[in-house]
Copies of this chain bind each other. A is one copy, B any other.
């Protein structure tokens, strides 16, 4: 998606080998007009796919998931990174490893908010090693729901998350796929 690539090239910051910071438009400051365009593109790509619900994980997944949910007219659920203080019922839980932060954390979804047999599209801001996506897929599996596709804003094509998911048969739609981050140069696939 050309608009997104332009944002990444002009407003992304390369921090170190393989790490790009997009806090100026996606992960901290959010450009609503960009998110609207991303959601429009997800909606176009997912036009033929059954979807009862969009599943994401807090916090940076919420914006693209919400806007896509609005256009696709389905509810959005974001997995929480801590057990909610006001939980009353059972939850589905999965462990996720953050390579950027070098730590493991648990994500949870209340059992009320994903139902058996539902067709679920997972949306997230980044796909690198695929740990968050694997956690969300595991939660859908626990609920006996079906993951019909994954929508990713930025995929790091030089890490193996995307190929692992595609090799398992998942349809993964990434709006920008970074081939390499080399010095000050970002290349897309």
Contacts and interface: CB of A to CB of B under 8 A. Distances in A.
Nearest to A69: B32
A185 interface: no
Contacts of A15: 86, 88
Contact of A35 (B21, B24, B66, B88): B66
Interface string A62-103: 110011011001111110100011101000000000101100
Contacts of A30: 62, 66, 69, 75-78
A86 B100 contact: yes
A59 B35 CA distance: 17
Contacts of A67: 32, 66-67, 70
B70 A35 contact: yes
Nearest to A100: B85
A31 interface: yes
A113 interface: yes
Interface string A1-41: 00000000000010100010101100111111101100000
Question: Which interface class (under 10, 10 to 19, 20 to 34, 35 or more) fits A?
Answer: 35 or more
B86 A33 contact: no
Contacts of A27: 84
A130 interface: no
Contacts of A80: 28, 59
Nearest to A20: B86
8 contacts: A23-B110, A23-B113, A27-B84, A28-B113, A30-B77, A32-B70, A35-B70, A67-B70
Interface of A: 13, 15, 19, 21, 23-24, 27-33, 35-36, 58-59, 62-63, 66-67, 69-70, 73-78, 80, 84-86, 88, 98, 100-101, 109-110, 112-113
